[in-house]
Amino acid sequence: MRRQVFRGRTLASARQAAEQVFGSGAVLLTTREVRRPGLAGMLGTTEIEVVAAAPEAEAPPSVPPPPPSRPSTQLFAQEAYAPERRPDVAAVATLRNELRSELRSLKASSLQSDRGAPDLLAELAALRVAIEDATPALRLGDEAAAMLRRLGIEGSAAAGVARWLKGPEDGRALSERMRDALSEAIKVTAWPIATPGRAVIALAGPTGVGKTTTIAKLAAHATIDRRSVTLVTCDGFRVGAVEQLQRYATLLGAQFVSVGTAEELARCLDEATTDLVFVDTAGRRPTADGAESLLSAQSFGERDRGYARHVLLCLPAALRAQDAASALKTFGSLDPTALAITKIDETSAPSGLLHGTAASGLPLSVLCAGQEVPEHIAQATVAAILDQLVPRTGARGSAA
């Protein structure tokens, strides 16, 4: 069957283009909406793309295949047991090239300014994930590929690890080679309470990920180090959020402030007298008039308050690659400086330790593995992350 791709501004115009080639009996095999970038990738338009084919003459009746040898109690339709089909290499290559072209356009657009817009940077991250999903995985041995699947590592993170695993074998066990490959993909930085002098430390991220508990753990360690602390909440949406952080402040002997606007947060920072100010944010997309908007690099830097700025994007250890890109798009306007990975104890495949960095390019700063304050928290290190992903005998445990 001869096939050809046609495009039009509408489905009708795309169909008309197909019928001009194949006649009125043209068969539409697939349709999809595609984006055509404009200048520097901006102000583009969308078109409808169809794959059409000429009608075929009616085929003679064929002899039905013999019944399958599987038991009659099979759970799914017969089509589910068909041999696995290999991907259409040409179709995958076309899609990959389109995605890469879009990625280049977005990069060119981001270079027009000193700092790319957060939504634009998040879109770049999402496109990276899409490219990796559309690209056939690097050929690995069955055992290595199975280990990556077992670890839950996917997308660009899996592709990066696979490239390192493709190196020559040196006789070591696969788990040791995997640890070496993973170490190349891990990025870490010091945790924020190690910053000398005054600092603002804010936690952003989805609701339920453990931001408030993580702040309490960090504040407790800072108090143990004899540093004065102010706890600030911007979360007036979650039931009990204000009371929870206020209770932690009372237990730690710390100051407590609740703010609802950027002006109130600015006044709080101007009036604070403590070494460290911890800011707990709401688990939803920041708004231009919300208190969190002050935490972005541009807004925070407009007035010198004598603070170092740390914004930790708080993500769960079981995070998938696509969800990491989505989180970056949601909270990217706050310009996170590092990652805090939580709930490591709640999964046997903490792939979020890699997916967060792969999507954002940010280093890991804080690891959390449990609810106890202040025990279940630690500064991120390559060794600790490797022991969580591919533990040696007896290595995996709490992050503390």
Contacts of 168 (CB under 8 A, 6+ apart): none
pLDDT above 60 (res 296)? yes
Task: Tell me if 130 is assigned to some domain.
Answer: no
State yes or no: pLDDT of 86 exceeds 50.
Answer: no
pLDDT, average across residues 323-338: 93
**The CA-based dihedral angle spanning residues 342, 345, 347, 350, taken in that order and rounded to the nearest 10 degrees:** 50
Q: Is pLDDT at 80 greater than 60 in this prediction?
A: no
Buried b (16+ CB within 10 A) or exposed e, 367-387: bbbbeebbebbbbbeeebbbb
121 is a domain residue: no
Q: What CATH number is attached to the domain comprising 373?
A: 3.40.50.300
- The answer to whether the beta carbons of residues 253 and 226 sit under 8 Å apart is no
47 within 8 A of 36, measured Cβ to Cβ: yes
Identify the three-state secondary structure at position 46. strand
Mean pLDDT over each residue of the chain, to the nearest integer:
78
Q: Report yes or no on 85 lying in a domain.
A: no
What average pLDDT does the segment 86-98 reach? 51
Range of lowest pLDDT (6-15, 63-72, 102-111, 258-267): 63-72
How would residue 140 be classed by pLDDT, with cut points 50, 70 and 90? Answer: low
For residues 176-201, average pLDDT: 92
Burial (CB < 10 A; 0-12, 13-18, 19+), residue 280, is: buried
Whether residue 382 is found in the same domain as residue 237: yes
Q: Are residues 212 and 360 in the same domain?
A: yes
Lowest-confidence region among 129-138, 245-254, 354-363: 129-138
In this prediction, residue 153 carries a pLDDT of 92
The two tokens of residue 312 are: 């930790």
pTM of this prediction?
Answer: 0.65
Q: Of the ranges 173-182, 233-242, 343-352, which one carries the lowest mean pLDDT score?
A: 233-242
Residue 255's contacts (CB-CB under 8 Å, 6 or more residues apart) are: 229, 230, 231, 249, 272, 274
Q: Does residue 260 lie within any of the structural domains?
A: yes
Return the pLDDT at 37.
Answer: 61
What does the DSSP assignment read for 172-221?
Answer: --HHHHHHHHHHHH--B---GGG-SS-EEEEEE--TTS-HHHHHHHHHHH
Residue 204: pLDDT over 90: yes
Answer yes or no: is pLDDT of 126 > 60: no
The three-state secondary structure class of 159 is helix
What confidence score (pLDDT) does residue 215 get? 94
How far is it, in rounded angstroms, from Cα 330 to Cα 335? 11
CB 342 within 8 Å of CB 313? no
Confidence class of residue 344 from pLDDT cuts 50, 70 and 90? very high
pLDDT of 136 reads: 43
56 neighbors 1 (Cβ within 8 angstroms): yes
Q: Would you say 191 and 379 are in contact if contact means Cβ atoms under 8 Å apart?
A: yes
pLDDT of residue 41 exceeding 60: no
* 276 within domain boundaries: yes
Number of folded domains that form the chain: 2
Q: What's 247's DSSP letter?
A: H
Evaluate whether residue 383 is within a structural domain. Answer: yes
Give how far Cα 371 sits from Cα of 360, 375, 385, Å.
26, 8, 19
Structural domain for 224, as ranges: 192-389
Burial of 60 (0-12, 13-18, 19+ CB in 10 A): exposed
The answer to the question of residue 113 being in a domain is no
Helical H runs in the chain? Answer: 11-22, 89-110, 118-134, 142-151, 155-165, 174-185, 211-224, 241-252, 262-271, 297-301, 321-331, 352-360, 382-389
- The answer as to whether 152 is a domain residue is no
